[in-house]
Each structure stands twice: as C-alpha cells, then as structure tokens.
Chain A
C-alpha cells in the first residue's frame, strides 16, 4: 500500500512570459484573516470565485512561509489536485504547494488557478516564483502540514467563496 492521492506536478524552469499580479501588491487582510488558535495557523480565506479562493489560499500559505517582497517570478511550477469536494481539492492543492517548497525549495510570488468542474473536481495551479535563496529570502514559519481540522470551502449566498484551513506549525 503506497498512499497516493490524485495530485500531479510539472516543473518549468523557463521564465514565465506573463506572470499574474505579484503577491507583494496584495493587502493580506483583503485575502485572509488569521483566526485564534492555540498553537497553529488557522485562516479564513475569501474569494470572488472558487479559483480566486484557491489562489488566495496559496497566497496565505506562502505569505506565512516567507517574506514575499523579494521573491521574483523567474520560473513556473504547475500543480494539479483532484477531489470530489471543493474543500478537499483545495486542501490537496495547498498541501502539494507545501511539498513543493519543502522538497524543492520553490517559493511562489503569484499564481493562477483553473478549475475544471468535471467529476472529480480538478484544480490546476501555475505558480510563478523562484528557488529559495537564503541570501535574499527571509523565511518565517516552518509549516508541517495542511490539516483536515475544521476544513471547509463553501459558496455564500452572495456568490463569494469562503474557506477555513488550518496549517500545523
């Protein structure tokens, strides 16, 4: 038994032609709120669409891993995650981004997420960023895992999306 869920990754060392808005231009409080938790990082995340919610969740992850201002969009990495429920698909995508940093030391500075609504729900994220360089990048928190605790992703009556996600530190 080798545990493996539906997540894939493609690397692209080439410079990205047109990266999306750099995360340094985002105001964190417009993207996510940190909720009170005794030991770990617990976030409430918002988005106008499910794809924007996923982008904001990836931002919340990397915003807590490193100071993002100095991360440049020099190359791309593509991640894919699937699940039947939006919350689990989101969790798997963020978890895969965490592995990308922890194993490959890739820091993202922006991303774009596409959602395919065919069953199972499939998320494809293109992340723009670069490899961690201890001389230029300041790291903040070591994140162990993206937990399933109080995990949620729901569309509100307004049409906006809201998620809660808890990172074990």
Chain B
C-alpha cells in the first residue's frame, strides 16, 4: 500500500462524490454513498484503493465505488473500472478470487400461505440435498477432467444438456451463462484438481441458499415483467466458481506480477498486478477467467436443479405445479468486454466489476428480450436477517457507471469482531425469533455472518435508487437460509 495522501472528496450530488484527480491518477474517483457512509469510509483503506485503481493505464472516465464499498485485494470490493482495449489493462485483482461469484433468483407458484408451518422442513431438505459447506462434494457424480473441460467451454448450457434445468433458463442468465473465448488449455493442474468435485456445491462463508417471500413491490410494471408479485415465495442462490475460480485467480496474479514488470506498468499495490489487454498475458487471463465464469454459471444451474428437486420432495408437488422459473442470474465478480458510449463515442471496453452488479437499462441487446422494455433485473442480496432486493438497471447506469451498481450489503464487522459479539448468543435462535429458520454446517460461519456484521442493505440500495442507477422493484424477506 502506498503512502500517498488521500485526495480530497467533493460532493457532486445527493449521493455522488468525486475524488479529485491528483498525482499519478489518470482519472478522478467517483463514489456513490450517503454522508454517513462517507464518514465511515474515512476509517478504512478502500478509498485509497479507489485512488490506486485510478492510476492504472487506459482507465476511462472514473475509478468508481458503489455504496457497499469495502476493503479488497488491489481493487476495493464494490469497485467498477473500465479500460480501453488498446491502451488499458486487465487485472485479476479487479475481479477477485471468486470469479463470477453471483446471484440467481428463482420464482415459484407458491405463496407464503402455501408453506405456513413447512419452512423448517424445506430448509432441512435443502440442507440435506444441497452440498453446502467446506469440503463438501458435489451432488452429482465426480466428473472427469474432460467433462470439467467441457463445462469450462459451454457454461450453463452443459448443465441444461445434462438434464439440470431447462433451455429457457439460459435466456435469463447473464451472457446466457457462457463467456466466449474460454480455453481449458490455459488452466493449471491445481485449478482442475480443486474444481473436479466441487461442481454443484454451494460453498461456505457468505454464500447461501435462501427461501424468501416477496414482501413489497415498488415498481409494478418491472415486477410483472420479472414474474414477481407480493406474497410470492422466491429462492435466492449466492455462490461462485468455488476452488476452481480461486485457483485461477491465484495462478494469474503470479503471471500478472511478471507481466506488470515486463511491460513496465507502475502499480501502487502488488495486488493490482495487471497486463495490457492487448498482451498475451492479458488475453490468457481473460480466457482463463471465462473458464471460471462458465464453471460458476454451471454450478448455479445445477444448484437450481437440486433446489427444485428438494422443494418438490418436501412439498409433494409436481414440477409443473411448483413452476420454478429463473428470474435472472447475474455475476458480481467479473471482467466483461462491452461497448459503452463515452463522450459521444462508442468504445469497446473491458469493464471490471468486483463486488458490483451489471445493471443494464432498457433497450440493451444484452438484456433478455422479455425484460428489454423495462431493463435488466439486478439482484442485491442483503444479510440473512434483513432483506434482499430486486432492482432494475437504467439508462442513467449506462451513462454514468458503465451499466453497473452495488452488489450487496458489504461487511462492517470483521469475522473476529463478529465472533466476539456472538459469544454467549445463539444466532440461529435469534433469527428464529424473527421468523427465519437458519441451518449452517458450522456455528462459526453462522456467527461470522450474523446480520449485524453487514451494512444496512436498505441504505445501500437506497443510495443507488436515489442516484437513478438502479431502481427498487421488490424487497424480499428471508424465511429460511442455508449456509455452508
């Protein structure tokens, strides 16, 4: 970490702040936050990380931070940065270890009344049928290296071809569940070894499977387009590319360190290691990252199948009567090649979203045809005791944030602080008192992920709503949660 003093912040709007361009910064910083969040941010290093990202070559317009910004490795979590293809860079630190960590929302035909008194049974069934925690093996047979190689190239379509879900699911998945350019030859043996038996597993930490009820609708037109209605039961899956993606990131941080040296790129933080997008190293990372992104989409597609099966079993209902529909699946740790208008010119850019969600507005060809008139669904998970949100992307997002918004609540307590606060308490009993059934492989995880360890998701979503970047559509209240 460098010792450069933090440039001053100037308020540019209700919830928009600009970090003045100073020293080695190529562009200014832009932070979306309310006054309280800005005060809190001065206590950690994430604003300095916004500054550091602004120093990278080829960055366009701003180094941006969403209101759920917190400290990450290299880039802050909640960071967005776009780079020119000719002069810019790509950085694994701008994507994160969990490549294509993301969220998937499933709608059902059920209402809250349909599952009164059955929530515990449903959560217990999920806990049994959906491999969740550390070291858990997949619910599908261990795959061969060739089969995993096929997943890396085909993404979620591989899962559908093998009976995990429906072809229609792909249309409601970002990038239809597959990034092109994936090349398994660029994947290390370590990554393959870590990935072989983790397809179809939820993972641990902040990953979860949640049973929810649509508590409130804010935007009826968009809610109707997304198939959401008040009182409806929904399911949310939050997970990523598991050990496979972690290893891809780790492998390429090393490649990028050497590349940054070779191409004489000055980086203020070792974890900002990067390579020119036009270099062999930059292209190799994007191909390897695409493999991990495709692994993650396959993983969430298989988990959807397991969730559907568990729900049908517990409630003794048919697939047709359950009518599980994929509302949307969106990544929040990824680098994408996209076209955006900058100062009246359409540019092809590499947009890094690390702890940030794509939020494309209406009429964008990347948005599913049946949602195109309203915009892309944006899924914002909160903590397990409060709520999650469905929002919708806007034209303002296209103009201001390269079509990006926040991704969640963001931690405020360290894991150690959370464990300290949880001492002598029963987090699952506290959640039960609020009508939420929680099951976790480890009590430690439940304590670390306690609701007060996170920022208030309502405030985070409110900032982006007030900025006009992503508008509230529905608030989802948790009824049951499975943690790894």
Mark each residue of chain B from 1 to 13: 1 if its CB lies under 8 Å from any CB of chain A, else 0: 1000000000000
Q: Are B135 and A148 in contact (CB under 8 A)?
A: no
A21 at the interface (CB under 8 A from B): no
Mark each residue of chain A from 121 to 161: 1 if its CB lies under 8 Å from any CB of chain B, else 0: 00000000000101000111110111111100000000000
Collect the chain B residues with CB atoms within 8 Å of residue A41's CB. Answer: 415
B44 at the interface (CB under 8 A from A): yes
Q: Are B98 and A99 in contact (CB under 8 A)?
A: no
Of A1, A39, A147, the residue contacting B414 (CB under 8 A) is A39
Of A39, A144, A145, the residue contacting B415 (CB under 8 A) is A39
The complex places the Cα of A146 from the Cα of B135 at a distance, in Å, of: 17
**Which stretch, A50-58, A100-108, A110-118, touches the partner chain B?**
A100-108
Q: Are A140 and B188 in contact (CB under 8 A)?
A: no
Mark each residue of chain A from 74 to 109: 1 if its CB lies under 8 Å from any CB of chain B, else 0: 000000000000000000000100010111110000
B97 at the interface (CB under 8 A from A): yes
B432 at the interface (CB under 8 A from A): no
Q: Are A142 and B134 in contact (CB under 8 A)?
A: yes
Collect the chain A residues with CB atoms within 8 Å of residue B186's CB. Answer: 1-3
* Interface size grouping (class) on chain A: 35 or more
Collect the chain B residues with CB atoms within 8 Å of residue A37's CB. Answer: 414-416
| Majority SS at the chain B contact face | helix
The complex places the Cα of A39 from the Cα of B445 at a distance, in Å, of: 13
B112 at the interface (CB under 8 A from A): no
Q: Are B271 and A144 in contact (CB under 8 A)?
A: no
Mark each residue of chain B from 421 to 445: 1 if its CB lies under 8 Å from any CB of chain A, else 0: 0000000000000000000011011
Residues facing B in A34-49 (CB within 8 A) are 34, 36-41
The complex places the Cα of A36 from the Cα of B416 at a distance, in Å, of: 7
Residue from A103, A140, A141, A149 with most neighbouring chain B CB atoms (10 Å): A103
Given contacts A3-B251, A38-B70, contact A103 B135 (CB under 8 A): no
Q: Are A3 and B255 in contact (CB under 8 A)?
A: yes
Collect the chain A residues with CB atoms within 8 Å of residue B251's CB. Answer: 3-4
Q: Are B280 and A140 in contact (CB under 8 A)?
A: no
Collect the chain B residues with CB atoms within 8 Å of residue A103's CB. Answer: 190, 193-194, 196, 243
B114 at the interface (CB under 8 A from A): no
Collect the chain A residues with CB atoms within 8 Å of residue B271's CB. Answer: 147-149
B252 at the interface (CB under 8 A from A): yes
The complex places the Cα of A133 from the Cα of B283 at a distance, in Å, of: 41
The complex places the Cα of A138 from the Cα of B251 at a distance, in Å, of: 29
Mark each residue of chain A from 1 to 25: 1 if its CB lies under 8 Å from any CB of chain B, else 0: 1111100000000000000000000
Collect the chain A residues with CB atoms within 8 Å of residue B196's CB. Answer: 103
Collect the chain A residues with CB atoms within 8 Å of residue B252's CB. Answer: 3
Given contacts A3-B255, A142-B133, A148-B253, contact A39 B70 (CB under 8 A): yes
The complex places the Cα of A93 from the Cα of B257 at a distance, in Å, of: 18
Given contacts A1-B186, A3-B254, A142-B203, contact A65 B71 (CB under 8 A): no
Collect the chain A residues with CB atoms within 8 Å of residue B71's CB. Answer: 38-39
CB distance from A65 to the nearest CB of B (A): 7
Residues facing A in B397-436 (CB within 8 A) are 411, 414-417
Q: Are B247 and A105 in contact (CB under 8 A)?
A: no
A169 at the interface (CB under 8 A from B): yes
Collect the chain A residues with CB atoms within 8 Å of residue B98's CB. Answer: 144
Closest-by-CB residue of B relative to A142 is B204
Collect the chain A residues with CB atoms within 8 Å of residue B414's CB. Answer: 36-39
Collect the chain B residues with CB atoms within 8 Å of residue A65's CB. Answer: 134
Residues facing A in B271-292 (CB within 8 A) are 271, 280-281, 284
Q: Are A1 and B280 in contact (CB under 8 A)?
A: yes
A69 at the interface (CB under 8 A from B): no
Collect the chain A residues with CB atoms within 8 Å of residue B445's CB. Answer: 141
Q: Are A3 and B246 in contact (CB under 8 A)?
A: no
Q: Are A139 and B135 in contact (CB under 8 A)?
A: yes
Q: Are B411 and A142 in contact (CB under 8 A)?
A: no
CB distance from B318 to the nearest CB of A (A): 33
CB distance from B379 to the nearest CB of A (A): 21
The complex places the Cα of A105 from the Cα of B36 at a distance, in Å, of: 45
CB distance from A28 to the nearest CB of B (A): 13
The complex places the Cα of A145 from the Cα of B73 at a distance, in Å, of: 11
Residue from B98, B134, B194, B442 with most neighbouring chain A CB atoms (10 Å): B134
B187 at the interface (CB under 8 A from A): yes
Q: Are A142 and B484 in contact (CB under 8 A)?
A: yes
Q: Are B134 and A95 in contact (CB under 8 A)?
A: no
B341 at the interface (CB under 8 A from A): no
The complex places the Cα of A99 from the Cα of B249 at a distance, in Å, of: 13
B86 at the interface (CB under 8 A from A): no
Collect the chain B residues with CB atoms within 8 Å of residue A139's CB. Answer: 133-135, 441-442
Residue from B185, B205, B411, B445 with most neighbouring chain A CB atoms (10 Å): B205
Residues of B with Cβ closer than 8 Å to A?
A: 1, 44, 70-71, 73, 97-98, 133-135, 185-190, 193-194, 196, 203-205, 243, 246-247, 249-255, 257, 270-271, 280-281, 284, 411, 414-417, 441-442, 444-445, 484
The 5 closest A-B pairs by CB, nearest first: A142-B204, A103-B193, A3-B251, A139-B134, A144-B246
Residues of A with Cβ closer than 8 Å to B?
A: 1-5, 34, 36-41, 65, 95, 99, 101-105, 132, 134, 138-142, 144-150, 168-169
Known: A1-B284, A145-B97, A168-B73. 16 other contacts (CB 8 A): A1-B255, A1-B280, A2-B188, A37-B414, A38-B44, A39-B71, A102-B194, A141-B204, A141-B442, A141-B444, A141-B445, A142-B204, A142-B205, A144-B98, A144-B205, A144-B246
